Structure 1
């Protein structure tokens, strides 16, 4: 493995660029670039067809450098342990950070590989950790798409990448506002199942075997009226304890895997 450059100063322009991309959503949007950290995340991004501009690695930390052999020498940059620790987002790190080019996540680019898609929609999720957890659930269930309505943070926020363990790269993720997504669902003939407390049926009693969208809102405010007014059927997970809600990613997982169970029985 040939390396043409080594950086040992945190004042290096490239190091400053990485720090800005890591910390500033505005810079990620302006440049179309983002930062990812970790060998597994890098491998998933490569497998999903992401363009990797540069790979920064620390020889004192990295344990398995086999993946680096797939890059050209001018893409690889060795950094000192001190510089790497300044860049690293995670406490437990693998010695690799990459600068990558973002993809198009507009609703207009949404395509399916099946005639009977099952998708998850999350309206205005605020916590990157919840978004990451939703994407991991979508990956586990092999959903056909995840749509983020009225996004509050960009998909390449380091917390989303970390909490999704790279699933943000491998899943079919699109964004749009609520009105756009509802129009799309109506045009494409989706059943819309909104997780809500009012006018709801037990989630086990509805039919998820046709093209279906499961829609979840925030734990604090739930779904907007626009979703509830355009719902095919509101659904609820019966609660037997003192509280009336669960973490959004847990609720979504329960609903998604009930839909998967029904579809498996229907095949």
Structure 2
């Protein structure tokens, strides 16, 4: 791993926001979901909770392989399964939905633990989603078109969340725990070795304080011994 890549990974991890995420309520178009994932990554959100059918999810996975490496996608078939655990953790559920109860999206305090709930392209947030939300928001518009594309709306709202969090200093200190930080650093910095460990169900090798592999030759030797010195496929482990 080059020093430049190492420094970039560290900068990104130092800005991650573990208490900011997105929930999609049957958003089924892969290109919109992929755009939402990219925007989530750009503002430091770590998780997308995706409620979607089997066929649509398979198509989405095929179009978002790159961005999935930086934002964890959790898949559900029922909205309550995605939202209720977040609410139990004290996360406010903010639904992008035009209704009599909606407020300007800039009125929400996004420095609180927040999940942005986005509905399907035509139907919007479901009745169940509205009932589960703590607030409903809208983006003021002055044109003839009545609503933004869901991925565009996500970008506008998450940018406001980022602005508020920057003003509050939430990007100025590392906010993820050390164990998660080290795991993500390894997975992002050594992707081929990560896949090797996952393939053989191995624990990740330890890293030095500088993010380098600690005694890589010793680790490889211990793995061969663990498998009775049988031949293992190390051919792609060069990162």
Q: TM-score range by the shorter chain?
A: 0.5 to 0.7
- Which ranges in structure 2 are unaligned for 5 or more consecutive residues? 1-8, 10-14, 170-239
Q: 2:137 — aligned with what?
A: 235
The total of aligned residue pairs comes to 154
Q: Does 1:168 align with 2:68?
A: yes
The answer to whether structure 1 residue 220 and structure 2 residue 132 are counterparts is no
Cα–Cα, structure 1 residues 115 and 220, in superposed 2: closer, same or farther, change >3 Å? closer
- Give the C-alpha shift of residue 227 in structure 1: 1.1
Structure 1: gaps of 5 or more residues: 1-46, 48-112
Correspondence 1:118 to 2:20: yes
RMSD: 2.2
C-alpha separation in 2, matches of 1:150 and 1:125: 7
Runs of 4+ in 1 over 2 A off after TM superposition: 113-116, 150-157, 159-162
TM-score (norm 1): 0.53
Q: 1:129 to 1:228 in 2, by over 3 A?
A: same
Query: Which whole-Å CA distance do the structure 1 matches of 2:151 and 2:17 have between them?
Result: 26
Aligned ranges 1:104-115 → 2 under 5 Å:
none
Whole-angstrom distance in 2 between the partners of 1:228 and 1:125: 15
1:133: how far off? 1.1
Q: Which structure dedicates a bigger proportion of its chain to helix? A: 2
Bigger relative contact order (CA 8 A; separation at least 6): 2
